[in-house]
Protein backbone atom coordinates (compact mmCIF):
# COMPACT_ATOMS: atom_id res chain seq x y z
CA UNK A 1 0.00 0.00 0.00
CA UNK A 2 2.89 2.37 0.67
CA UNK A 3 3.77 2.35 -3.04
CA UNK A 4 0.31 3.51 -4.15
CA UNK A 5 -0.04 7.28 -4.40
CA UNK A 6 -3.73 7.76 -3.62
CA UNK A 7 -3.42 11.54 -3.88
CA UNK A 8 -2.03 11.29 -7.39
CA UNK A 9 -4.81 8.91 -8.45
CA UNK A 10 -7.46 11.25 -7.04
CA UNK A 11 -5.96 14.31 -8.72
CA UNK A 12 -5.84 12.52 -12.07
CA UNK A 13 -9.48 11.43 -11.76
CA UNK A 14 -10.68 14.89 -10.77
CA UNK A 15 -8.65 16.42 -13.57
CA UNK A 16 -10.40 14.07 -15.99
CA UNK A 17 -13.79 15.23 -14.69
CA UNK A 18 -12.83 18.88 -15.11
CA UNK A 19 -11.58 18.30 -18.64
CA UNK A 20 -14.79 16.50 -19.61
CA UNK A 21 -16.99 19.17 -17.99
CA UNK A 22 -15.25 21.90 -19.95
CA UNK A 23 -16.17 20.19 -23.21
CA UNK A 24 -19.91 20.09 -22.51
CA UNK A 25 -21.74 22.68 -24.58
CA UNK A 26 -24.28 24.68 -22.61
CA UNK A 27 -26.37 25.19 -25.73
CA UNK A 28 -26.85 21.40 -25.92
CA UNK A 29 -28.22 21.41 -22.37
CA UNK A 30 -30.53 24.29 -23.23
CA UNK A 31 -31.78 22.48 -26.33
CA UNK A 32 -32.56 19.26 -24.48
CA UNK A 33 -34.22 21.15 -21.61
CA UNK A 34 -36.43 22.91 -24.15
CA UNK A 35 -37.39 19.59 -25.74
CA UNK A 36 -38.32 18.14 -22.35
CA UNK A 37 -40.37 21.24 -21.57
CA UNK A 38 -42.23 20.79 -24.84
CA UNK A 39 -43.00 17.20 -23.82
CA UNK A 40 -44.36 18.56 -20.53
CA UNK A 41 -46.52 21.14 -22.29
CA UNK A 42 -47.93 18.56 -24.72
CA UNK A 43 -48.30 15.74 -22.16
CA UNK A 44 -45.95 13.47 -24.10
CA UNK A 45 -44.11 10.70 -22.25
CA UNK A 46 -40.37 10.57 -21.64
CA UNK A 47 -38.87 7.07 -21.58
CA UNK A 48 -35.37 6.50 -20.19
CA UNK A 49 -33.11 3.44 -20.54
CA UNK A 50 -29.59 2.26 -19.77
CA UNK A 51 -27.55 -0.82 -18.81
CA UNK A 52 -25.55 -1.41 -15.63
CA UNK A 53 -24.67 1.81 -13.86
CA UNK A 54 -26.56 3.67 -16.56
CA UNK A 55 -29.68 1.71 -15.61
CA UNK A 56 -29.52 3.17 -12.12
CA UNK A 57 -29.03 6.63 -13.62
CA UNK A 58 -32.12 6.06 -15.77
CA UNK A 59 -34.12 5.20 -12.64
CA UNK A 60 -32.67 8.19 -10.81
CA UNK A 61 -33.51 10.51 -13.68
CA UNK A 62 -37.08 9.26 -13.92
CA UNK A 63 -37.48 9.95 -10.21
CA UNK A 64 -35.98 13.42 -10.43
CA UNK A 65 -37.90 14.55 -13.51
CA UNK A 66 -41.15 13.07 -12.26
CA UNK A 67 -41.00 14.14 -8.62
CA UNK A 68 -38.11 16.59 -8.33
CA UNK A 69 -39.74 19.10 -10.70
CA UNK A 70 -42.87 19.41 -8.57
CA UNK A 71 -43.53 22.63 -6.70
CA UNK A 72 -45.94 20.96 -4.28
CA UNK A 73 -46.10 17.16 -4.21
CA UNK A 74 -49.40 17.34 -2.29
CA UNK A 75 -51.10 19.40 -5.00
CA UNK A 76 -52.87 16.81 -7.14
CA UNK A 77 -53.89 19.48 -9.65
CA UNK A 78 -50.30 20.45 -10.46
CA UNK A 79 -49.39 19.27 -13.95
CA UNK A 80 -46.60 16.68 -13.92
CA UNK A 81 -44.01 15.48 -16.39
CA UNK A 82 -44.86 12.02 -17.71
CA UNK A 83 -41.66 10.01 -17.31
CA UNK A 84 -40.90 6.27 -17.14
CA UNK A 85 -37.65 4.36 -16.68
CA UNK A 86 -37.91 1.14 -18.70
CA UNK A 87 -35.05 -0.40 -16.72
CA UNK A 88 -37.14 -0.99 -13.59
CA UNK A 89 -39.56 -3.88 -14.20
CA UNK A 90 -37.41 -6.94 -13.53
CA UNK A 91 -40.19 -9.36 -14.52
CA UNK A 92 -40.62 -7.70 -17.91
CA UNK A 93 -36.87 -7.37 -18.50
CA UNK A 94 -36.11 -10.99 -17.71
CA UNK A 95 -39.15 -12.29 -19.62
CA UNK A 96 -38.05 -10.62 -22.84
CA UNK A 97 -34.40 -11.53 -22.23
CA UNK A 98 -35.30 -15.16 -21.61
CA UNK A 99 -37.95 -15.62 -24.31
CA UNK A 100 -36.34 -13.50 -27.02
CA UNK A 101 -32.91 -12.02 -26.26
CA UNK A 102 -31.27 -9.39 -24.08
CA UNK A 103 -31.11 -7.21 -27.18
CA UNK A 104 -34.93 -6.94 -27.10
CA UNK A 105 -35.52 -5.88 -23.48
CA UNK A 106 -36.05 -2.19 -24.27
CA UNK A 107 -37.48 -2.21 -27.80
CA UNK A 108 -40.16 -4.75 -26.84
CA UNK A 109 -41.35 -2.54 -23.98
CA UNK A 110 -41.58 0.39 -26.36
CA UNK A 111 -43.85 -1.66 -28.63
CA UNK A 112 -46.41 -1.46 -25.80
CA UNK A 113 -45.85 2.13 -24.80
CA UNK A 114 -44.25 4.64 -27.14
CA UNK A 115 -46.20 7.05 -29.36
CA UNK A 116 -45.22 9.68 -31.92
CA UNK A 117 -43.84 12.85 -30.28
CA UNK A 118 -42.82 10.93 -27.15
CA UNK A 119 -39.15 11.09 -26.11
CA UNK A 120 -36.66 8.26 -25.61
CA UNK A 121 -33.51 9.08 -23.64
CA UNK A 122 -30.68 6.57 -23.78
CA UNK A 123 -27.87 6.64 -21.25
CA UNK A 124 -24.82 4.70 -22.43
CA UNK A 125 -21.11 5.05 -21.83
CA UNK A 126 -20.10 3.21 -25.00
CA UNK A 127 -23.16 3.88 -27.14
CA UNK A 128 -22.66 0.42 -28.65
CA UNK A 129 -25.06 -1.72 -26.62
CA UNK A 130 -27.26 -3.66 -29.05
CA UNK A 131 -30.39 -3.27 -26.92
CA UNK A 132 -29.90 0.50 -26.79
CA UNK A 133 -29.38 0.82 -30.54
CA UNK A 134 -32.37 -1.43 -31.32
CA UNK A 135 -34.67 0.61 -29.09
CA UNK A 136 -33.48 3.90 -30.60
CA UNK A 137 -34.15 2.60 -34.11
CA UNK A 138 -37.66 1.53 -33.14
CA UNK A 139 -38.41 4.85 -31.42
CA UNK A 140 -37.37 6.78 -34.51
CA UNK A 141 -39.58 4.54 -36.67
CA UNK A 142 -42.51 5.40 -34.41
CA UNK A 143 -41.88 9.14 -34.73
CA UNK A 144 -40.49 9.67 -31.25
CA UNK A 145 -37.65 12.08 -30.45
CA UNK A 146 -34.39 10.37 -29.46
CA UNK A 147 -31.85 11.85 -27.04
CA UNK A 148 -28.51 10.38 -25.99
CA UNK A 149 -26.33 10.84 -22.93
CA UNK A 150 -23.26 9.13 -24.32
CA UNK A 151 -19.54 8.78 -23.72
CA UNK A 152 -16.22 8.60 -25.54
CA UNK A 153 -17.09 9.14 -29.24
CA UNK A 154 -20.81 8.36 -28.94
CA UNK A 155 -20.62 4.88 -30.46
CA UNK A 156 -23.35 3.51 -32.71
CA UNK A 157 -26.07 5.23 -30.70
CA UNK A 158 -24.87 8.64 -31.90
CA UNK A 159 -26.26 7.85 -35.36
CA UNK A 160 -29.74 7.22 -33.97
CA UNK A 161 -30.02 10.13 -31.52
CA UNK A 162 -31.35 13.41 -32.85
CA UNK A 163 -29.90 15.26 -29.88
CA UNK A 164 -27.05 14.15 -27.66
CA UNK A 165 -24.47 15.17 -25.12
CA UNK A 166 -21.28 13.14 -25.35
CA UNK A 167 -18.93 13.07 -22.37
CA UNK A 168 -15.49 13.18 -23.95
CA UNK A 169 -13.76 10.57 -21.83
CA UNK A 170 -12.87 6.88 -22.05
CA UNK A 171 -13.18 6.50 -18.27
CA UNK A 172 -16.60 4.99 -17.55
CA UNK A 173 -16.59 6.30 -13.99
CA UNK A 174 -16.19 9.87 -15.20
CA UNK A 175 -18.82 9.38 -17.90
CA UNK A 176 -21.32 7.99 -15.39
CA UNK A 177 -20.53 10.78 -12.92
CA UNK A 178 -21.32 13.43 -15.51
CA UNK A 179 -24.41 11.67 -16.85
CA UNK A 180 -25.82 11.93 -13.34
CA UNK A 181 -24.74 15.57 -13.20
CA UNK A 182 -26.61 16.20 -16.46
CA UNK A 183 -29.68 14.65 -14.87
CA UNK A 184 -29.52 17.03 -11.92
CA UNK A 185 -28.77 19.97 -14.18
CA UNK A 186 -31.76 19.26 -16.44
CA UNK A 187 -34.03 18.63 -13.45
CA UNK A 188 -33.03 22.03 -12.05
CA UNK A 189 -33.67 23.72 -15.40
CA UNK A 190 -37.05 21.99 -15.82
CA UNK A 191 -38.09 22.98 -12.32
CA UNK A 192 -37.57 26.67 -13.06
CA UNK A 193 -39.08 26.46 -16.56
CA UNK A 194 -42.11 24.47 -15.40
CA UNK A 195 -42.73 26.86 -12.50
CA UNK A 196 -42.57 29.84 -14.85
CA UNK A 197 -45.13 28.31 -17.21
CA UNK A 198 -47.41 27.24 -14.36
CA UNK A 199 -47.41 30.89 -13.22
CA UNK A 200 -48.24 32.24 -16.67
CA UNK A 201 -44.79 33.61 -17.48
CA UNK A 202 -43.17 33.48 -20.91
CA UNK A 203 -39.90 31.61 -21.34
In a domain, 124, yes or no: yes
Digitized pLDDT (tens) for each residue of the chain, 203 residues in all = 568 889 999 999 999 999 999 999 999 999 999 999 999 999 999 999 999 999 999 999 999 999 999 999 999 999 999 999 999 999 999 999 999 999 999 999 999 999 999 999 999 999 999 999 999 999 999 999 999 999 999 999 999 999 999 999 999 999 999 999 999 999 999 999 988 887 777 66
In a domain, 16, yes or no: no
In a domain, 10, yes or no: no
Dist. CA 190–CA 69, nearest whole Å: 6
In a domain, 175, yes or no: yes
In a domain, 190, yes or no: yes
CATH code of residue 78: 3.40.50.10490
> Please, are residues 113 and 84 in contact by the beta-carbon 8 Å criterion?
yes
In a domain, 14, yes or no: no
In a domain, 178, yes or no: yes
* In the chain, beta strands by DSSP E: 45-50, 82-85, 119-123, 145-151, 163-167
Q: How many domains does the chain have?
A: 1
In a domain, 180, yes or no: yes
> Please, are residues 37 and 156 in contact by the beta-carbon 8 Å criterion?
no
For 78, the domain range is 25-198
Amino acid sequence: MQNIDITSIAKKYLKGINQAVNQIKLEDIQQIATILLEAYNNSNTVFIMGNGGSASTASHMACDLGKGTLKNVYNHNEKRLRVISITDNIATLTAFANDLSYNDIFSQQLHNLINPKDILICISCSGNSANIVKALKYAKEKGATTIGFLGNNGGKAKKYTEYNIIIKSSNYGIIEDLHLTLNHLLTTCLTFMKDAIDNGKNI
